[in-house]
Amino acid sequence: MWSSAENFALLHRIFTEELGPAELDSADLFRAQMLLGPFRGSLENTFLQYQSGFISDEVYDSVSVPNCATFGPAFLRFGLALGESFRAELLRIISENKPRIGDFEH
């Protein structure tokens, strides 16, 4: 099985080099899809909870939107399964150039 260091290194390359499926061999592509899937599921679930009124605007805008801005482009590049409304939300966030994780002053 893959080590945490190998997984971290692959994810780091995906986000810093904006890698897509064409730049990975079949084993790394499979691993990337397996690693990105839980991020996608968590963010889509959070979006659906926000739509249903279970999450405040403040939490959604300050936590979920930066995560979607950071991870969303990779979800789209790797062709992960996305609900139609969540795909539209990712495209909105990306098109509005919302701040990504790491774009904030600490």
Q: How many domains does the chain have?
A: 1
Is residue 76, in this structure, part of any structural domain at all? yes
Is residue 26, in this structure, part of any structural domain at all? yes
31 three-state secondary structure: helix
Distance CA 2, CA 8 (A): 10
Domain of 46, in residue numbers: 4-95
Distance CA 94, CA 106 (A): 23
pLDDT tens digits for range 7-51 = 989 988 898 888 899 999 999 999 999 999 999 999 999 999 999
Is residue 105, in this structure, part of any structural domain at all? no
pLDDT tens digits for range 49-73 = 999 999 999 999 999 999 999 999 9
**pTM, to two decimals:** 0.87
